[in-house]
Amino acid sequence: MSETKCIVLGEESKEENKKPIEFVKHVNVAFDVGLSEAGRKPSTYETIELVRGTESDSHYDLMYAYEGVRRHTGKGAIYLGHWNDGVVE
């Protein structure tokens, strides 16, 4: 599998970042909105987009992770977690 691509909408990528993305909660929207433990690691996705970031470590960032290079494939998931420096281990 190739390296996971991480995107901040509207921002150029940076290579010097070190602290990896952490998924904490999976947002389940299939039948009703609910939260569960994040069952997958960021490295299992091809692309992760930061939808909404926070400046606080005590709040979660909102991320969309998906397979492939197109976000509308239907093979994506929404996570709450920590974007940190926007890299994947």
- What's the pLDDT tens digit per position in 61-72? 999 999 877 777
What are the backbone dihedrals phi and psi of residue 56, each rounded to the nearest 5 degrees, phi first?
-110, 135
Stretches in the chain below the pLDDT threshold 70: 1-2, 13-17, 73-74
- What's the pLDDT tens digit per position in 44-55? 999 999 999 987
54 domain residue, yes or no: yes
87 domain residue, yes or no: no
Show the 3-state SS of the chain: CCCCEEEECCCCCCCCCCCECEEEEEEECCCCCEEEECCCCHHHCCEEEEEECCCCCCCCEEEEEECCCCHHHCCEEEEEEECCCCECC
Domain count, the chain: 1
47 domain residue, yes or no: yes
The pTM for the full model equals 0.75
63 domain residue, yes or no: yes
11 domain residue, yes or no: yes
88 domain residue, yes or no: no
Residue 35 structural domain: 5-82
89 domain residue, yes or no: no
pLDDT at residue 64, as a whole number = 94
**Could you give the CA distance from residue 8 to residue 46 in angstroms, rounded to a whole number?**
14
24 domain residue, yes or no: yes
